Structure 1
Amino acid sequence: MGYTLYYSPSTASFVVHWMLIELGVPFELVLVDIETGAQKEPAYLALNPAGRVPTLIVDGQPRHECVALATLLAERHPERAWAPLPGDQDRAEYLEWTIFLANSLLPAMRDWFYAGVDGDPSGADAVRALSRSRIEAAVARLDGHLADGRDFFLSGRLTSLDFLVIMLMRWTRNMPCPATNWPNMARYVKRRRSMNSFIEACRREGISDWLNDSTQSGAE
């Protein structure tokens, strides 16, 4: 069961890359250099008409959207129990949080980073101000969910939510109020960053600015 991942370092493809490493399945990495506009080249647009990463080739077909791909990988590898199955008592909560990340937090993140690109640059500051409030409200909600000291986001087990939450929290690292300013989230982040697969994914993508102190001095 091999895969091909079209990725760009430190983008939404990270969650898929990290999950593939943790799964230990064979996969090929194909770099899409978004700094040079490679995502807009005809050959890539034929795979992903939106011109974004990630794209994951699954059974010969290109698939898109990082949250969908994280959920798809979890369901394609049921032996890891990364997605509660229908009938599981955690299924409803799993779906609620998955949609929350996809519909609330991810769009706010895009508004923060691309306010001057996706819309009128003259209104970028107002868009960023709104997106910041939405992001910080979302992080506060996530932090409250972790207040019981749990190791994993959902009911004592690793799921695709953990991979998604950590990727999104990393994106806040240079924002005015990074996610690690929230105490429960900071504890949770530190535990998930200790995973060997996370460290390896960062190594492969050249990420060195958000590792635990034992791995990178002065991280955070």
Structure 2
Amino acid sequence: MYALYYSPGTASLLVHWLLIEMDIEHELRLVDMDARAHKSAEYLAMNPNGVVPTLIVDGQPRYEAAALAMYLADRHPDAGLAPALDDPQRALYDQWMFNLASTLQSPLRLWWYPWDLQADDDAVRAGAQARIEDACARLDAQLGAHGPYLLGERLSAADFYLTMLMRWTRKMPKPAHEWPHLGEFARRMKARPGFATLYQREGLSEWA
């Protein structure tokens, strides 16, 4: 059984959602971010980055949300959420997972936490917003031309990752769901029963 250290609405949401979707037995361990439990010596011994998620796998702590998503999808192939290594779509799948991490998650973190750069917050946010909107425009074009999912007709872990990142844009001047194809994509993903279960378990209501 897996054990997931999580905090509602954070990057752990991706891993939590996949555990639900894949019907994998797991235990949830809430990390109190307000109390800075993620910076405690006990937690840092598992995840030296001091962030969530951390997933206990066969007794060992593992971290990095995108990497955990790829690991779970590969380890549980019956769920069908990752092309096999010899599948022609594997390279495209890997491409989208890394693309989302570098072109969308990275600037989103800056938009939410501009003070991490110890620079002018407004300037950091403006730069991050421009990068995020550029990424959204490219993703919208991809879905419009080759959708309904990032791999075409094939649902994958990359789509769950994209949905989580879209949720993070909800308070931006132009949230991701305002692009037409991304908006339809979000509606499709949020209609999944697992999404309702995820929201109920994490006590979330925004962007439902």
TM-score normalised by the shorter chain: which range applies?
Answer: over 0.9
Distance of 1:86 and 1:71 partners within structure 2: 12
Superposed CA RMSD: 1.1
| Residue 70 of structure 1 pairs with residue 44 of structure 2 | no
The match for 1:90 is 89
Instruction: Encode CA deviations 1:123-171: one digit per residue, 9 max, x unaligned.
Output: 1111111100000111111111110473322131221101100000000
Distance of 2:200 and 2:23 partners within structure 1: 16
Instruction: Encode CA deviations 1:29-78: one digit per residue, 9 max, x unaligned.
Output: 00001111110111111111110000001111111111001101100101
Q: Any unmatched runs of 5+ in structure 1?
A: 212-220
AA aligned opposite 1:103: S
Distance of 2:82 and 2:182 partners within structure 1: 22
1:135 aligned residue (112, 118, 132): 132
Counterpart contact for 1:151–1:191, Cα < 8 Å = no
2:206 aligned residue (198, 206, 209): 209
1:151 is paired with a residue whose SS is coil
The match for 2:49 is 50
1:157 aligned residue (154, 159, 174): 154
The match for 1:114 is 113
1:57 is paired with a residue whose SS is strand
Distance of 1:192 and 1:57 partners within structure 2: 27
Distance of 2:204 and 2:27 partners within structure 1: 19
Distance of 1:114 and 1:187 partners within structure 2: 28
Counterpart contact for 1:4–1:57, Cα < 8 Å = yes
Structure 1 runs (4+) greater than 6 angstroms displaced: none
Counterpart contact for 1:90–1:155, Cα < 8 Å = no
1:175 is paired with a residue whose SS is coil
Q: Any unmatched runs of 5+ in structure 2?
A: none
Counterpart contact for 2:146–2:152, Cα < 8 Å = no
Instruction: Encode CA deviations 1:167-191: one digit per residue, 9 max, x unaligned.
Output: 0000001100001110011111001
Counterpart contact for 1:74–1:80, Cα < 8 Å = yes
2:78 is paired with a residue whose SS is helix
Number of paired residues?
208
The match for 1:26 is 25
Counterpart contact for 1:6–1:56, Cα < 8 Å = yes
| Residue 174 of structure 1 pairs with residue 171 of structure 2 | yes
TM-score, with normalisation over the residues of structure 2?
0.97
The match for 1:14 is 13
AA aligned opposite 1:180: H
AA aligned opposite 1:3: Y
Distance of 2:72 and 2:165 partners within structure 1: 18
Counterpart contact for 1:13–1:54, Cα < 8 Å = yes
2:184 aligned residue (178, 182, 187): 187
- Does 22-31 or 85-94 show the bigger shift? 85-94
Distance of 1:40 and 1:102 partners within structure 2: 23
| Residue 37 of structure 1 pairs with residue 36 of structure 2 | yes
AA aligned opposite 2:77: P
Counterpart contact for 2:96–2:150, Cα < 8 Å = no
